[in-house]
Structure 1
């Protein structure tokens, strides 16, 4: 994967809004202007849907993104080294927690979704 553990932690904190300016400067892959795109989303883990319906989609560069629902969010880090259509993901795991401390492991792309045996993360464009 292209992010170190430190960079992942800093990125998670920056997007969640709890990082210091120093930590933000350490992660050069984060865009300076945050883009938020309303989307139709799904975050399903072990058959339980934690985000379903409208959410905020935040691209963070090079295919990586954040899905933010009401109480839950997930980060998807797309691999540029392992294999095409591979990613790793983390999520907050507890309602309203501010850190994506729970790993979801490796996922593969299936259309608008990233899937593994236990997780499914999807984002679709909203119909206008």
Structure 2
């Protein structure tokens, strides 16, 4: 997997441990300064809806994005290695967690959603 976007760098920095803490903090600060877009969102895992309704959508480049709603967030990374319209996602399965350390696996694009047999991540533009 190639880590090229801010979200990938942040996740990687957290994954490699405390030696990357400064990098994770710098990347996290840079990501927080990016523009967020209110959207209508869905994060559903194994039939349970964790994000539903209005959330914040952060495009992080190269098609990658972050959704944040309530106590949950998810990172979706495009995965050219797995073919067109494929992505890999992670989320903070525990609402008290500050890292998206729980893998959601490979997802395939279906309109405004990224889906697998157990996961559905969607973001729609809010109607005014």
CA distance in 2, matches of 1:73, 1:67: 5
The corresponding residue for 2:13 is: 10
Unaligned runs of 5+ in 2: none
Shift of 1:23: 3.7
The residue number in structure 2 matching 1:68 is 68
- SS of residue paired to 1:2: coil
Distance apart, 1:9 and its partner CA: 3.0
TM-superposed CA distance for 1:32, in Å, is 8.7
Q: Which has the higher helix share?
A: 2
Task: Find the counterpart in structure 1 of residue 108 from structure 2.
Answer: 108
Normalised TM-score (structure 2): 0.80
CA RMSD in angstroms, aligned pairs only? 2.6
More moved, 92-101 vs 47-56: 92-101
Cα deviation, residue 46, structure 1: 0.3
Ranges of 4+ aligned residues in structure 1 off by more than 6 Å? none
CA gap of 1:31–1:62, structure 2 versus 1, over 3 A, is farther
1:35 and 1:107, CA in 2 relative to 1: closer, same or farther beyond 3 A? Answer: same
- The runs of 5 or more residues in structure 1 that have no matched partner are 13-18
The question of whether the paired residues in 1 share the 8 Å contact of 2:39 and 2:55 is answered with: yes
Deviations 1:47-70 (A, max 9, x none): 000000000000111000000011
Partner-residue secondary structure (3-state), 1:34? coil
TM-score (norm 1): 0.80
Report the Cα offset of residue 37 of structure 1: 0.2
